Amino acid sequence: MIQFNNVSFGYSKQKLLYANINLELRAGSVYGLLGKNGAGKSTLLKLMAGLVYPQQGKLSVFDADPTKRDPSFMHEVFFIPEEIDTPSIHVLDFGAEHMPFYPKFNNDQFLHYLKEFDIPMTNLNTMSFGQKKKVWIAMGMASNASLIILDEPTNGLDIPSKRMLRKLIATVLNEDTCIIISTHQVKDLDSLIDKIILVDEGEIIVNTDTESITEKLVFKLSPNISTTDQYLYYETSLAGHLIVKERSLEDEATKLDLELFFNAGINNKNGIKQLFN
């Protein structure tokens, strides 16, 4: 579905943010794009949507060139940015004005999602940031686009709305759809994400599925740190030591701790890369 072949990009030609990256994303999955602040998560999303253009290499999305921004490409892509700005019109008008541009837009779904999100039927101008964001999310999901990109979708959402978002994403996902979520708040969406892309300092550290992670790694809470064991990463908490280590034959599978995996990936880049690439 999305193919990066030796893609390089930078906001200036002298300083590249990404150099010769290769990445493949497939339909039917929810991708979690993780990385520190300024790691280039939003830039990667913008490259996929055709909002910034690669300086080198080839990038194709549904076998199309996103930089051409053809209508046939754009009606298959819905981008929900981190910051939200809406015109001062009624929420139903907002949906009605966008509907004709997305051939698969389902107005009944849109109304249903608005109801589920408990959105008041008023002018967008009178809504809070969180409510506006939910309107955008509802519209994105109702567009039935094949590629839905969400940049920090849980920012500004209350706890019931985060739950609702998870439910909505699970509802719209099918084998032809690819959902990419960039987030700092991994705990909000870790139950939903089935593929992880970890980026840091302009490189893709990991692009793998959650099953592979739990197959290869063990996440444990241990009261002690053994000097003989080889840990990929550990950190100390009030309850003890949180450990990430390579899974051996004797180890039982453990539940994926996305936050711990993220920290392991950032702090022991080479160890994680060797294991997954």
Partner 1 sequence: MNNQFSFSRVLLLLRKNLKENGKSYLLMFTAGFGIILLIYALLIVAGLHSMFPSGDRKMLFTIGLFLGGTLFSASFYSFFKSQPKTIQFLLLPATTGEKLLIGFILTQIVYIIVFLISFTSIDWFMCTIYNEFVSIPKWIIEQEKHYYKAVYLFNSDTVLIKQILVMYFITTSIAHLGSLSFINNAYVKTVILFILTVVTLIFFNNKILGLMIPEPIMPYGKYFTETFRIGSIQQPTGIVTLPKLWYSTIVWFLPIFIYLSCWTMSYLKIKEKQI
Total Cβ atoms within 10 A of residue 214: 17
- Which helix or strand (DSSP H or E) is residue 110 part of? helix 107-116
Strand partners, 180: 31, 149
Give the nearer residue to partner 1 in terms of CB position, either 84 or 180.
84
Contact map string, positions 70 to 109, toward partner 1, x by CB under 8 A: xxx-xx-xxx-x-xxx-xxx---x---xx-xxxx------
The single residue among 16, 19, 51, 172 that binds partner 1, judged by CB under 8 A, is: 51
Minimal distance, residue 100 CB to partner 1, in Å: 5
Minimal distance, residue 44 CB to partner 1, in Å: 14
SS3 274: helix
Instruction: Round to whole Å and give the CA distance between 105 and 101.
Output: 8
Interaction between residue 41 and partner 1 (CB under 8 A): no
Q: Which residues are CB-neighbours of 273 under 8 A, at least 6 positions away? A: 205, 206
**CA atoms lying within 13 Å on the CB side of residue 4:** 26
Q: Which of residues 103-162 bind partner 1 (CB under 8 A)?
A: 103
Total Cβ atoms within 10 A of residue 123: 15
Interaction between residue 52 and partner 1 (CB under 8 A): yes
Q: Are 90 and 122 in contact (CB under 8 A)?
A: yes
Minimal distance, residue 75 CB to partner 1, in Å: 4
Minimal distance, residue 10 CB to partner 1, in Å: 12
Give the nearer residue to partner 1 in terms of CB position, either 26 or 53.
53
Give the nearer residue to partner 1 in terms of CB position, either 50 or 265.
50
Q: Are 264 and 272 in contact (CB under 8 A)?
A: yes
Give the nearer residue to partner 1 in terms of CB position, either 121 or 221.
121
In the complex, the residues that contact partner 1 under the rule CB under 8 A are 46, 49-53, 69-72, 74-75, 77-79, 81, 83-85, 87-89, 93, 97-98, 100-103
